[in-house]
Amino acid sequence: MRLVIARCTVDYTGRLNAHLALATRLLVHKGDGSLLVHSDGGSYKPLNWMSPPCSLVVETPDAEAADVGVIEQWRVTHAKSGDALLVRIYEVIHDSTHELGIDPGLVKDGVEADLQRLLAEQVDVIGDGLSLVRREYPTAIGPVDLLLRNPDGGTIAVEVKRRGDIDGVEQLTRYLELLGRDPHLAPVTGVFAAQEIKPQARVLATDRGIRCVTLDYDGMKGIESGAPRLF
C-alpha cells in the first residue's frame, strides 16, 4: 500500500463529473489497484475513489499544467467503465509504501447467530416462565430462530435480527401462518427481537399482533452497555 500526502486537485470523468479544488489530501493506492482520496474529515469515507479493476499511470504534466505548478499527474482508469480519475499533484509532503500482507478478515461480535445463542440461554428476556423448545426450529419455508413454550399454553416464535426492518416482520409473519396450522403448537404468537428496530417495522409488527423486544447485547453478555439505567 502506498500512502501519499500531497497538495493536489482531483477530477473524475465518466458517468459523472466531479472536481476537488487544490488542497492537501491523503492518497491511498492499495495493492488491489484501487485509489482513495481522503481529507482530514468525513470519518472513513473518501472524497473520491476508483475501485478495481483499474490501472494507475503516472504522467508528466504538459507545459500548461507545469506552468501552474503541477509536478506529477496520476491517471487512474477503470478497466470496464472507462471512468477516469486524474490527480494533479503540486507538492508531495509524504510518500511511503508498506507491505501489509494478507488480512485474516473481520470477525464480528454481535452477529445474529450470537444474539440467537444468547437469547436461547436467556429466554426470560422475552418473558417470565418461558422455556426453549428449539433453536432453528425447522419449517417448510425455513428455520424459525427460536421456538419457545408458553406456560399458559401455546408457543412463541421468535425472529432475531441485529437491525429489524420490515422484511424481518414479513418473514416472521410467514412463519406464524405456517406454524399456526400445527395443532401441537397452536396458538402461536410472534416476537420480533433485535438490537435496533426501525419505526416502520415496529408499526407493522404491532399491527399484526407481533410483540417487539429490543435486545441489549452487551447486557446479555454481562457487559455494561454504558446506557443510563434507573437501577
pLDDT in tens, 135-174: 999 999 999 999 999 999 999 999 999 999 999 999 999 9
Between CA 149 and CA 57 the distance in angstroms is 65
Based on its alpha-carbon atoms, the radius of gyration of the chain, rounded to whole angstroms, reads 27
Residue-wise burial string across 200-211, b where 16 or more C-beta atoms lie within 10 A, e elsewhere: ebbebbeeeebe
How do residues 82-136 score in pLDDT, each as one tens digit?
999 999 999 999 999 999 988 887 665 557 888 999 999 999 999 999 999 999 9
Average pLDDT over residues 55-68: 96
With cut-offs at 50, 70 and 90, classify the pLDDT of residue 222. Answer: confident
Quote the CA–CA distance of 82 and 20 in Å, as a whole number.
Answer: 20
Residues of the chain with CATH 3.40.1350.10: 111-225
Q: How far is CA 208 from CA 31, 139, 154, in A?
A: 51, 21, 18
Measured at the alpha carbon of residue 120, what is the angle toward residues 114 and 124, in degrees to the nearest 5?
Answer: 120
CATH 2.70.180.20 fits 2-97, yes or no: yes
Does residue 23 carry a pLDDT above 60? yes
Level-2 CATH architecture, domain 111-225? 3-Layer(aba) Sandwich (3.40)
Q: 27 near 76, Cβ under 8 Å?
A: no
Average pLDDT of the chain is: 92
Within the chain, all domains assigned CATH 2.70.180.20 are found at 2-97
pTM above 0.75, yes or no: no
pLDDT at 218: 87
Spell out the residues 6+ positions from residue 83 whose beta carbon is closer than 8 angstroms to its own. 12, 13, 14, 15, 50, 77
Work out the average pLDDT over 177-190.
Answer: 96
